[in-house]
Structure formats: C-alpha cells, structure tokens
Amino acid sequence: MILELDLGNTRSKWRLLSPAGATPVGIPGHAGVVETQSLRVGAVPAMWRELPVTRVRAANVAGSEAATGLCAIAEELGWGSVEFARVESQCAGVTCGYRDVSRLGVDRWLAVIAAHQHFQRPCLVADCGSAVTLDLLGAGGQHLGGYIVPGLGLMRRALFRDTDAVKVPDTLEAGMSLDAGCDTTAAVNRGLVLMVLGAIDEAMGRLAVKAPAPLLVLTGGDGALLASLTRHRAELRPDLVLDGLALSNP
C-alpha cells in the first residue's frame, strides 16, 4: 500500500492508499496529522508501526531535517526509499509559471496540478497553512504565478511577539462574525481573517482579468474556516496536496 505524506512547516498530513484498481483509494481510518517537528527528530508515530506500507511518496517544504527524519523512519520501518515529489516545468497538463521552477514550493505545485485535474478550469488555489499561498491557474493549465503571505497563526504570533498590548488568544471559528472588533481579541482575530480574505479577493479579481470565471479552491489547516467566511463560491479540498502526488509520482 502507498503511504502519502505532505510535510508542511507546522504539520505533516498523511494517508494510506490501497493500490487496488486503476486509481488507488484512501483506506478509512488510515490518515492523520503529525507535528513536523516530531518527524525532524525521527520520532515514529505509534500507528505507523502497524501500516502495511510498500511505497512512500512525499511532498516536503519543511526543510532537509524533515526529509532526513522521514527517510530514517522509513528505513527503521522497512518501507524502502521515500520518493520526494519535485516541481517540473510541465506535469499533468499544467505548465509552471515560475522562471526557476525549482524555487516554487512543491506543495503549491501539487495543489495546482491536482486542482487542474479536478476542475479543468481557471482556479485560484489558496493553501491556508503556516503561510497562505495563492496560486493563479489560468486557462489551459497555465500556472500564472502567485502570492505568499503569512498565515493566520503566524500573523497573530507576530503581533504577540512584537507589540506590548496585542497579545491575544486564537478565537477563530467557522462562521465567526467579521464585524469590527470592540475589544483587542476580536479586533485581532477578525482582522487576521480580513487580511486573508482581502488577499483572496484581490487575487481572484486579478485572475478574472486573465481567465474567465475562476473557481476558488481552498486547502490547508485554515481552509475550512476561510471557506465558511469568503464571499466567493469555494471548493474545499483538504487533501489537494496529497492528491497531486499521484500525478507527479504515479
């Protein structure tokens, strides 16, 4: 069975696929999230010891220590070598928009090629994790580049660290009010959401100039929150990065 991993800067998402049939399918109950830091130090998540893994494919944007830690775990558990996805200038009908394709985050690339496969139309792919990345996918599978901004947690921690009086807890929740805050906690938490929604709006507008009727596709740890609050029709695809692995590393 195929173990798929998406090593993000904060958390690593995994799922096990059964290769039965032409299209491998996820096995219920065999998916989860682990702290990326625990992989860096080679800690094996308990459940992984039981997994019947014959192949491992991974997307890593969390640095060489995370890659090394994962490879050590794979060796310890007898899984063989880890196949790391790479950004190519073309894959699965998508042409990369970066001048130097090796500089594009592989998580962004996999999300874009998966969005192209799922929707076959212009999309704004918003991956809302440690960072929020907005990738413009135009007509005909042309990636048009994108934007990188700090994610919600990162912005809140920046205020916490670098101000004296703006140290507030995370009160984000699906469907929350975005009315102007009348206390510091509300002002910050609602303001952070406005930052990301504003960036999405602006990117959607810019994409719409270049490609007809773009679809907003959301993924990442804060994808569900933003899907509940955006004024755009949004497709929420939590596994979009993992979905791209089958296209980049078939």
Ligand X SMILES: Nc1ncnc2c1ncn2[C@@H]1O[C@H](COP(=O)(O)OP(=O)(O)O)[C@@H](O)[C@H]1O
The residue number whose beta carbon is nearest to K ion equals: 129
Q: Is residue 129 at the binding interface for ligand X, with CB under 6 A as the rule? A: yes
Which among 96-104, 133-141, 176-184, 207-215 is the span making contact with K ion, rule CB under 5 A? 133-141
Stretch that binds ligand X, among 63-71, 158-166, 193-201, 215-223 (CB under 6 A): 215-223
Is 107 catalytic? The answer is: yes
User: Which residue of the set 107, 135, 222, 243 is catalytic?
Assistant: 107
38 is in an annotated binding site: no
- Helices 240-248 and 106-119, interaxial angle, to 10°? 90
Stretch that binds ligand X, among 140-148, 202-210, 216-224, 226-234 (CB under 6 A): 216-224
**Amino acid letter at 219?**
T
Q: Binding to ligand PAZ (CB under 6 A): which residues in 51-90?
A: 61
151 binds ligand X (CB under 6 A): yes
Binders of ligand PAZ among 139-178, rule CB under 6 A?
148
Residues in binding contact with K ion, number by CB under 5 A? 4
- In angstroms, the CA 75 to CA 43 distance is 13
Q: Three-class SS string for 9-66?
A: CCEEEEEEEECCCCCCEEEEEEEEEEEHHHHHCCCCCHHHHHCCCCEEEEEECCCHHH
| Residue 105 touches ligand PAZ, criterion: CB under 6 A | yes
Nearest residue to ligand PAZ on Cβ basis: 105
Binds ligand X by CB under 6 A, chosen from 1, 10, 195, 201:
10
Structural contact between residues 138 and 210, judged by C-beta atoms closer than 8 angstroms: yes
The rounded distance, in Å, linking the Cα atoms of 24 and 218 is: 23
Sign of CA dihedral 234, 240, 243, 249: positive
Residue 23 CB, nearest approach to ligand PAZ (Å): 26
**Residue 222 interacting with K ion (CB under 5 A):** no
| 13 annotated binding-site participant | yes
Distance CA 58, CA 74 (A): 12
Asked if residue 18 belongs to a known ligand binding site, the reply is no
Of positions 40, 48, 115, 127, contacts K ion by CB under 5 A = 127
* Total interface residues for ligand PAZ by CB under 6 A: 14
Q: Confirm or reject binding of residue 230 to ligand X (CB under 6 A).
A: no
Which of 220, 234, 237, 249 is close enough to bind ligand X by CB under 6 A? Answer: 220
Report the interface residues with ligand PAZ, using CB under 6 A. Answer: 8-9, 61, 103-105, 107-108, 127, 129-131, 133, 148
Q: Which residues bind K ion (CB under 5 A)?
A: 127, 129, 131, 133
Q: Catalytic residues, which ones?
A: 107
